[in-house]
Amino acid sequence: MKFGKEFASQMVPEWQEAYMNYNYLKTLLKEILIFRRRMTTSAPVKPRHSASLKRRVSLFRAFSGLTSRYGNTSPKKDKEDEVILVSAMQEADEEQGDHDSRSYQTIFLRSSEDGGEFELVFFKRLDHEFNKVNSFYKEKVEEVVKEAEELNIQMDALIALRIKVNDPYAVSPFINQKTPGSYPLETIKESETSEEKQDERSGDGKEYNMASLEVLDQVKINATTETPVATMKSVFHLLKSDFNFNKKELKDAQGKLKQAFIEFHEKLRFLKNYAFLNQLAFSKIMKKYDKITSRNASDAYLQMIEESYLSQSDEVSKLIDRVEAAFVKHFCNGNRHQAMNTLRPKAKREKHRVTFFVGCFFGCSLALVVAIIVVIHNRDLLNNEGRTQYMDTIFPLYSLFGFLVLHLLMYAGNVYYWTRYRVNYSFIFGYKAGTELGFKEVLLLGSGLSVLTLAGILSNLEMQMDQRTKSYKALTELVPLGLVIFVLLIAICPFNIVYRANRYFLLVCLWHCICAPFYTVTLPDFFLADQFTSQVQLLRNLQFYVCYYGWGDYKKRDGEACKKSDVYDIMYIIIAVIPYWIRLLQVHI
């Protein structure tokens, strides 16, 4: 893969405009190359004897010892060979002591040569891109440093909360006391290797606990009403003037702070990768310039990059080390391997068996469709007397699975394009790291369900037409219900099969949609409710299942009894309104 494509594939989508415009700089280099080729073809051919004479002289100087063996050139010759002069422009911030707020300007020393105006434009654009990258990187570093300070304060509060919840009686004498010289809890600190500092801190354990507990006086636990029970409890909690912390609040706070650490660590890794990619891009583009122009300008420019804030700043690397050390200590009980698996999740390996079974199920689905068509044609079912009654009942029952399979196929298409255009959907929807389904896994579920559905239709037809099973009409009609029960059992199965984490995530979102007024609405809940607004017919088919099998009409294969009921007609309208009503409740919560 060429570097341009690799560079684009590793960009953070939200920061895409802040990266170096590699393709545009390549376009400018192509213009320089085209001009030089034109100049080469239009220039007169010089006599060869001058070149040969020059070569003879150089050979004579080399063998006669007139040429130095070590390649040391005089300062005068170095100045003659200079192509660019890079200088840092002072700004107002720098005059006040901020040496990182500076812009760089390149002076092209060969602008008087033929085609020099093209190279001058190239270096102006190159300076613009570098100053843009350098400024953006500095802004982001300042931003993450402030975020680290906020995380530090929150970690102090969490540790104090742990002390108060886990051992409230041991620290009760210190709760109401104030100490003017409290010890700051440096959670995200540079190193913890000094045994002397640890001994001092352990020796002053009481004072340390007291200082930590003082953080709780300045921190308010934001107990968001995420459940109906929490909504009712919050009414009584408002009547209390003091803080009453319990283990549930500690667990919730710890979970939220742990997720904040994971997201912060990911942002730091993105920022570090941003600096590395841009430095590599500038190196590549300068090497291309040297190759096209036969000059040696890359050394001076890359030396400037090495001395800039983009290369010299090590705040991000230090923050990554500190965050990892704090995460290992406070969230993984010192287990670094577990912490690294959480902070740096490995990319999911593409399983070949998933691809195999997707193709296998898709082929089986096609074969079953052909088999159904052959059975209908050979047994002349289209001209059968009970065809109308059969289709009025069977079609709504099995079309439920058809809508579900179609929905899975559309969702697989969404996941495919999200992956292709590098949309971090697992982070956006809040999936647990490594549990998100790829488009092939979604296709596997859809194709597997289609095989079950088509097999049920074919078995239903065979049982209906076979003389030995024709008398068991009730059993024949129970095939669709059996499929529904099977799918529901798989959905609620507690065992770790068929993507349990995703099934649990779906059920939680479904419950949040049903109880929309009592839960904090998140993006997955919005997304699922939106999907239901396009699956009104699927919900109406579920209504038909309840009526058809609940009132015992399946024994007579009489689906018209449901459609003639006034209650069924009213529910038919209400079912269509429910998804939109859920969305309305979500918007106003």
Q: SS in 3 state form for 296-308?
A: CCHHHHHHHHHCC
- Decide: 268 and 321 in contact? Cβ < 8 Å: no
> Phi, psi (5° rounding) for residue 472?
-95, 65
Taking each continuous run of H as one helix and of E as one strand, the counts in the chain are 25, 2
Looking at residue 307, its amino acid is E
> Phi, psi (5° rounding) for residue 313?
-70, 130
Q: What are 416-451's pLDDT values in tens digits? A: 999 888 888 888 898 887 788 999 999 999 999 999
Instruction: From 221, 211, 218, 214, select the one nearest 245 (Cα to Cα).
Output: 221
HSE toward the beta carbon, residue 15, CA cutoff 13 A? 24
Written in H, E and C, the secondary structure of 246-264 is CHHHHHHHHHHHHHHHHHH
- Residue 387 and residue 505: Cα distance in Å, rounded? 42
- Residue 260 and residue 331: Cα distance in Å, rounded? 12
User: Residue 213: its pLDDT value, please?
Assistant: 52
- Decide: 264 and 319 in contact? Cβ < 8 Å: no
- Decide: 431 and 505 in contact? Cβ < 8 Å: yes
User: Residue 518: its pLDDT value, please?
Assistant: 85
Low pLDDT (below 50) residues in the chain: 45-77, 94-97, 99, 172-187, 189-211, 219-225, 228-229, 231-243
- Residue 125 and residue 286: Cα distance in Å, rounded? 13
- Decide: 392 and 560 in contact? Cβ < 8 Å: yes
Structure tokens at 434: 């490594």
Handedness of CA 193, 207, 324, 266 (dihedral sign): negative
Contacts of 531 (CB under 8 A, 6+ apart): 407
Q: What is the DSSP letter of 174?
A: H
Instruction: From 540, 536, 512, select the one nearest 524 (Cα to Cα).
Output: 512
- Decide: 435 and 517 in contact? Cβ < 8 Å: no
User: Residue 44: its pLDDT value, please?
Assistant: 56
Written in H, E and C, the secondary structure of 420-465 is HCCCCHHHHHCCCCCCCCCHHHHHHHHHHHHHHHHHHHHHHHHHHH
User: Residue 191: its pLDDT value, please?
Assistant: 41
User: Residue 470: its pLDDT value, please?
Assistant: 66
Burial class from Cβ neighbours inside 10 Å (0-12, 13-18, 19+) for residue 560 reads: exposed
Structure tokens at 50: 């001058």
User: Residue 448: its pLDDT value, please?
Assistant: 96
Residue 146, helix vs strand vs coil: helix
Q: What are 366-389's pLDDT values in tens digits? A: 999 999 999 888 877 777 776 777
- Residue 8 and residue 22: Cα distance in Å, rounded? 9
Beta bridge partners of 85: 107
Handedness of CA 157, 163, 166, 172 (dihedral sign): negative
User: Residue 333: its pLDDT value, please?
Assistant: 87
- Decide: 14 and 277 in contact? Cβ < 8 Å: no
User: Residue 396: its pLDDT value, please?
Assistant: 86
Looking at residue 490, its amino acid is I
Q: What is the DSSP letter of 292?
A: H
In total, the chain counts a number of residues equal to 589
- Residue 217 and residue 243: Cα distance in Å, rounded? 9
- Decide: 551 and 481 in contact? Cβ < 8 Å: no
Handedness of CA 26, 31, 34, 35 (dihedral sign): negative
- Decide: 298 and 286 in contact? Cβ < 8 Å: yes
- Decide: 22 and 281 in contact? Cβ < 8 Å: yes
- Decide: 118 and 37 in contact? Cβ < 8 Å: no
Q: What is the DSSP letter of 103?
A: E
Whole-model pTM: value is: 0.69
Q: Where are the domains of the chain?
A: 1-224+244-344, 352-587
Q: What is the DSSP letter of 46?
A: P
Q: What is the DSSP letter of 469?
A: T
Instruction: From 129, 138, 126, select the one nearest 101 (Cα to Cα).
Output: 138
User: Residue 56: its pLDDT value, please?
Assistant: 40
HSE toward the beta carbon, residue 405, CA cutoff 13 A? 18
Planar angle of CA 306, 311, 313, nearest 5 degrees: 135
